[in-house]
Amino acid sequence: MSGPAGAAARIAVVGSCNMDIVAFAPHLPAPGETVTGQRLLQVPGGKGANQAVAAARAGGDVVMIGAVGDDAFGGLVRASLQEAGVNVSGLRVGPQPTGTAHITVDSAGSNTIVVIPGANAAVVDLTDADRDAIGNSDVLLLQLELPQAVVTAAAAVAHRAGTTVLLTPAPVRPLPAELLALIDLLVPNEHEASQLTGRADAQDALDSLLAQVPAVVVTLGAAGCSYRRRAGAPIRVGAPAVPVVDTTAAGDTFTGALAVALAEGKTVPGALRWATSAAGLSVQHEGAATSMPRREQIDAFAQGLESAVGAGR
């Protein structure tokens, strides 16, 4: 999976770009309830753009393929990607407005999200340049906020080229066999894993998903993550205990960092620990792209955790 020695991990992302409109409230509203919130925040998000920013800040050489609208939100999302060092040559400007995500965050940092796809829905095919970018990458990151046909087309290009395909199955929906056959590593959270399999227990869900894809990592929030390869032993990584402000995009931060770590040739346990450290840093800050750590911050935090574990032995 890794490119030339010493070169940055090459990551392609085919995914969504949104503006996140975030209401911070004491608790998430129940159906029919009106809650008075404390603050409103507007920050760049979208699972695709988030993973691109996370991977770039983690040290990857990242290209983003997606779409924004010809509007102020689109300009802000583009600027956020560029500021992180993401190559935006694959970012189309569609006639529809930029996608938006309407997020409520409660006092424990948990959230609910409603996404209006906007321009994301217009990404229906790949250009020759997109195919080249995917084929020249070590890892392709996919999620399910673009039309399924283009997600499958991108996975097929990667599969043919030997580019490793990671899929975040969110927003969760049944995955067709045609797409599953192209996935190297599925990265659901525990809720998505349960919804995909009908198994309430995350470990049972993970084992069941292994019948469909060769490797799975289930993110478990404050409990870390659980990984397994077909015919391999399970690997469990705990999460650091940190003050949680906002969990939005913690999974995207984990996935972006994981892609970089795997492409750089870190061992799977090492890559999982590093990605978990990145997510542990992101939950301590508000917003999506605004919360993602830089490589040196991840290194320092991961190192501190290793030392603490070593001192506790």
Burial label, 146 (beta-carbon count in 10 A; 0-12, 13-18, 19+): buried
User: What's the token pair of residue 10?
Assistant: 């090459």
Q: Distances in Å between the alpha carbon of 73 and those of 55, 83, 154, 289?
A: 22, 15, 26, 14
Task: Count other Cβ atoms within 10 Å, centred on residue 244.
Answer: 16
User: Does residue number 115 form part of the binding site for ligand RIB (CB under 6 A)?
Assistant: yes
The verdict on 172 binding ligand RIB (CB under 6 A) reads no
User: By CB under 6 A, is residue 46 in contact with ligand RIB?
Assistant: yes
Query: Is 61 a catalytic site residue?
Result: no
Which 3 state secondary structure label does DSSP give 285? coil
Contacting ligand RIB (CB under 6 A), which of 113, 161, 300, 305? 113
| Residue 218 makes contact with ligand RIB by CB under 6 A | no
Does residue 86 bind ligand RIB (CB under 6 A)? Answer: no
Binding segment for ligand RIB (CB under 6 A), chosen from 14-22, 80-88, 180-188, 269-277, is 14-22
Complex with ligand RIB: residue 143 or 194, whichever CB lies closer: 143
Closest CB 171 distance from ligand RIB, rounded Å: 8
Among 47, 131, 266, 273, binds ligand RIB (CB under 6 A): 47
Q: By CB under 6 A, which span of 45-53, 62-70, 85-93, 272-280 interacts with ligand RIB?
A: 45-53
Query: Which one-letter DSSP state was computed for residue 180?
Result: H
Figure out which of the listed residues 11, 12, 14, 18 binds ligand RIB, where binding follows CB under 6 A.
18
61, 125, 252, 299: which is the annotated catalytic residue? 252
Pick 47 or 131: Cβ nearer ligand RIB: 47
Give CA–CA dist 239/225, Å, rounded. Answer: 8
Going by DSSP bridges, is the β-strand pair 111-116/99-105 parallel, antiparallel, or unpaired? antiparallel
Q: Alpha helix (H) ranges present in 228-267?
A: 250-263
| Terminal-to-terminal C-alpha distance of the chain | 34
In the complex with ligand RIB, which residue's Cβ is closer, 156 or 217?
217
185-186 and 99-105 beta bridge pairing: unpaired
3-state SS, residue 7: coil
CB atoms within 10 A of CB 138: 24
Question: Does 50 interact with ligand RIB (rule: CB under 6 A)?
Answer: yes
Nearest-CB residue to ligand RIB?
Answer: 45
Q: List the interface residues with ligand RIB, window 234-293 (CB under 6 A).
A: 248-249, 251-252, 288
Q: How many CB atoms lie within 10 A of CB 159?
A: 17
Q: Which residues are catalytic?
A: 252
Per CB under 6 A, residues contacting ligand RIB are 16, 18, 20, 45-47, 50, 101, 113, 115, 145, 248-249, 251-252, 288
